[in-house]
Amino acid sequence: LLVPIGLLVGIALSALLIWAMRSWSSTRAIVRQGLRRREYHLCYQPVIDLASGRIVGAEALIRWRRSSGEIVPPDIFIPAAEEAGIICAITGRVFDLLAEDASDVLRIEPDFHFAVNLSAADMHRSDIIADIHSLTERSGIPHAKLIVEVTERSVVDLERARETVHSLRRGGIAVAIDDFGTGYSSLAYLAQLDVDFLKIDKLFVHSLGTGSATNQVAARIIEMANDLNLRIIAEGIETRAQEMILRNLGVHYAQGYLYDRPLSLEDLLQRLRAQRAIPRRKKNVAA
């Protein structure tokens, strides 16, 4: 009984917050207050290398715990903050938090990669490159081990976005297209952005195995991504069946509840320490 009551209270509080966040000025005030009170923190969802089964990196996902104890999901406050024009302040806090957290992880796994999410406003502002370089310096994350995730929605001005992607990659930083398969992006469009990774969206992953047509489309996407030399990360893997299909299709990396939910920094460190205790599987030498 406690669970449904908690859920109802949570929904009611979120509804109240959405209502309060409907005007730009109150969204700005609410977000600023959250920043001042240090109500944001990061969770880390492990990324698994399908060939070895090991955790090789993690995506940093923001969490907002209000002073009331209520946890506001990013799907609610990120779009509100974007609309209110205050998302860059949140991105700044994400970078600060990651800069604080990363060294503990790198001490255990020096080759670990971190992924961060950018919004449209970040992609189109001139100081984003400097901010990201400052993040790598402060965090100790090597350039090649930072993955900047951009969604189709974060590309408003294709020319401008191309410049940002180009500058990032010229500086040795990796770029991923996030949530691929949900929007209108075609691979031709992707080729224009010239990124390193393609993240296949969970909705797409969940439709695998439900009909042969979806599998055919997935197979073609993965084949073409491979032709474009893109590395593929599948998101939202929840079952061994999904994992098997994706692995057979040639997907390299996986992220999802099958392996881990987004973890607190402490839990991530724990997982990595446990992993280190297990020796690396020897690579099969092809006969």
- Site residues for ligand C2E per CB under 6 A: 45, 61-62, 73-75, 78, 94, 117-119, 178-179, 202, 235-238, 255-257, 262
CB of 284 to ligand C2E, least distance (A): 29
Closest CB to ligand C2E among residues 27, 279: 27
Determine if 179 is a binding residue for Mg ion (CB under 5 A): yes
Strand, coil or helix: what is 49?
Answer: strand
Enumerate residues 56-115 that contact Mg ion by CB under 5 A. Answer: 73
Which DSSP state fits 22? T
Decide whether 21 or 115 has the Cβ nearer to Mg ion: 115
**What count of other Cβ atoms lies within 10 Å of the Cβ of residue 160?**
15
Pairwise CA distance, residues 70 & 169, whole Å:
39
- What residues pair up with 146 in beta bridges, in sequence order? 114
What amino acid occupies position 252?
H
Residue among 82 and 178 whose Cβ is closer to Mg ion: 178
Using CB distances below 5 to 8 A depending on partner kind, what does residue 257 bind out of ligand C2E, Mg ion, none?
ligand C2E
| Least Å from the CB of residue 204 to Mg ion | 10
Provide the CB-side half-sphere exposure for 265 (13 A, CA).
Answer: 16
Choose among Mg ion, ligand C2E, none what residue 92 binds, the Cβ cut-off being 5 to 8 Å by kind: none
- 5: which residues sit within 8 A by CB, 6+ positions away? none
List C-alpha distances in Å: 167 to 78, 122, 136, 146: 25, 14, 15, 14
Q: Is 149 in the site for Mg ion (CB under 5 A)?
A: yes
Candidate residues 27, 45, 91, 117; the one interacting with Mg ion per rule CB under 5 A: 117
Pick the piece of the chain touching Mg ion (CB under 5 A) from 87-95, 160-168, 178-186, 275-283.
178-186
SS3 of 287, please? coil
Which pair of structure tokens corresponds to residue 280?
């690396």
Comparing CB distances to ligand C2E, the nearer of 107 and 182 is: 182
**Exposed/middle/buried for residue 8 (C-beta within 10 Å: 0-12, 13-18, 19+):** exposed
- β pairing state of 71-72 and 54-65: antiparallel
Is residue 122 within the footprint of Mg ion (CB under 5 A)?
no
Interface of this chain with Mg ion, residues 211 to 250, rule: CB under 5 A? 235
- Comparing CB distances to ligand C2E, the nearer of 24 and 276 is 24
Least distance (Å) between residue 176 CB and Mg ion: 8
Nearest to 197 by CA among 82, 116, 78: 116
Q: Which is nearer to ligand C2E, 181 or 236 (CB)?
A: 236
Cβ distance to ligand C2E smaller for residue 71 or 130: 71
Which residues contact Mg ion (rule: CB under 5 A)?
Answer: 73, 117, 149, 178-179, 235
